[in-house]
Copies of this chain bind each other. A is one copy, B any other.
Amino acid sequence: MSLYAGIEAGGTKFVCAVASDFDTILKEERFPTTTPEETLPRALDFFRRAEEELKDQHGAITSMGIAAFGPVNVDSSSSRYGWITSTPKPGWKNTDIRGYFVREMNVPVGFDTDVNGAALGEGHAGAGRGLDTFMYITIGTGVGGGIIVNNKPVHGLVHPEVGHMILKPREGETFQGVCPYHSHCVEGMCAGPAIKARWGTPGDQLPDDHEAWDVEASYIAQALMSYVLIISPERIILGGGVMHQRQLFPKIRKELKTLLNGYVDHPAILEEREDYIVPPGLEDHAGITGAFILAAGAAHR
């Protein structure tokens, strides 16, 4: 009998939940991400109440998983493992979020990026099921990606930050993007705030046939071309607010095929297959599901 505690720690909101297995949430709470001083104790209080309520039937919380906004430190050999590091979000720079719950909950705590959490969740029960190597990308307020290679999240030196790769501007492009670090990076050109800055209107208020979506699809396809050439994923899952514009999917598949120009000789690309570039299977439960998977991994270490 095990009770997993999971946190999807987003820059906007925290999702806290406890589950008896990866698919069975027993109790869940969502609240805005304010300061660490306020938000972390609020999460802790939720877990204490949940455990109290559930322990007769399910036992105590045995481990915990956190999928956090970042940049974060995911190097388990580092003294800063489990910290939110150089984030621009006020108050959160150098926050030892994992350490807080290790101390307060006294259980093993698994930790990864929010997007790796979502990728793990999609791999378990969503659009990544049964695949060894795939990507989950979110195009929302920012652009980020979780990458699973040979069934494990990619970490490496720091962790991937796929949203800041530089794009080749389209013929006649005058917009440089909105990223304070880079001109023409994926996030700066494609995320929600970029759409608003370029067209003066947020994406959800633009008509489905607005030219914005052709521009958007061509840049997303260029980013995907690099991901395909570097990672060679078996599938790419595209989530986040901007991807609610479902008309983007066929445009992106078509443009990706044009850009690769036959170089990647595989039906997934040559036939613009609908099962290659897909929306998430779990929508807004991918991250929390991933957090439970991280909890289980921590328990077995």
Binding-face segment, A61-69, A209-217, A255-263? A255-263
Q: Does A21 contact B (CB under 8 A)?
A: no
A231-B233 contact given A133-B155, A261-B181, CB 8 Å threshold: no
Within A181-209, which residues are at the interface with B (CB < 8 Å)? 181-182, 184
Q: Does A289 contact B (CB under 8 A)?
A: no
Q: Does A265 contact B (CB under 8 A)?
A: yes
Give the docked Cα–Cα distance between A165 and B228 (Å).
Answer: 9
Give the docked Cα–Cα distance between A261 and B208 (Å).
Answer: 36
Q: Does A39 contact B (CB under 8 A)?
A: no
Q: Does A226 contact B (CB under 8 A)?
A: yes
Instruction: Judge whether B132 and A265 touch: CB under 8 Å.
Output: no
Chain A interface category by residue count: 35 or more
For residue A222, which residues in chain B have a CB less than 8 angstroms away from its CB?
A: 166
Nearest-CB residue, chain B, relative to A228: B157
Q: Per a CB cutoff under 8 Å, which of B134, B159, B163, B232 touches A158?
A: B232
Nearest-CB residue, chain B, relative to A147: B230
Give the docked Cα–Cα distance between A86 and B158 (Å).
Answer: 35
Q: Does A297 contact B (CB under 8 A)?
A: no
Give the docked Cα–Cα distance between A264 and B134 (Å).
Answer: 23
Q: Does A96 contact B (CB under 8 A)?
A: no
Give the docked Cα–Cα distance between A164 and B226 (Å).
Answer: 8
Give the docked Cα–Cα distance between A110 and B264 (Å).
Answer: 23
For residue A147, which residues in chain B have a CB less than 8 angstroms away from its CB?
A: 230
Q: How far is the CB of A167 from chain B (nearest CB, A)?
A: 7
Q: Does A30 contact B (CB under 8 A)?
A: no
For residue A169, which residues in chain B have a CB less than 8 angstroms away from its CB?
A: 168
Q: How far is the CB of A82 from chain B (nearest CB, A)?
A: 16
For residue A166, which residues in chain B have a CB less than 8 angstroms away from its CB?
A: 167-168, 222, 225-226, 259
Within A244-261, which residues are at the interface with B (CB < 8 Å)? 259-261
Instruction: Judge whether B133 and A157 touch: CB under 8 Å.
Output: yes
Instruction: Judge whether A232 and B150 touch: CB under 8 Å.
Output: no
Instruction: Judge whether B157 and A149 touch: CB under 8 Å.
Output: no
For residue A265, which residues in chain B have a CB less than 8 angstroms away from its CB?
A: 71, 85-86, 158
Nearest-CB residue, chain B, relative to A234: B157
Instruction: Judge whether A181 and B150 touch: CB under 8 Å.
Output: no
Q: Does A284 contact B (CB under 8 A)?
A: no
For residue A162, which residues in chain B have a CB less than 8 angstroms away from its CB?
A: 229-230
For residue A262, which residues in chain B have a CB less than 8 angstroms away from its CB?
A: 181
Q: Does A154 contact B (CB under 8 A)?
A: yes
Instruction: Judge whether A161 and B234 touch: CB under 8 Å.
Output: no
Within A120-153, which residues are at the interface with B (CB < 8 Å)? 132-134, 145, 147, 149-150, 152
For residue A259, which residues in chain B have a CB less than 8 angstroms away from its CB?
A: 166, 182
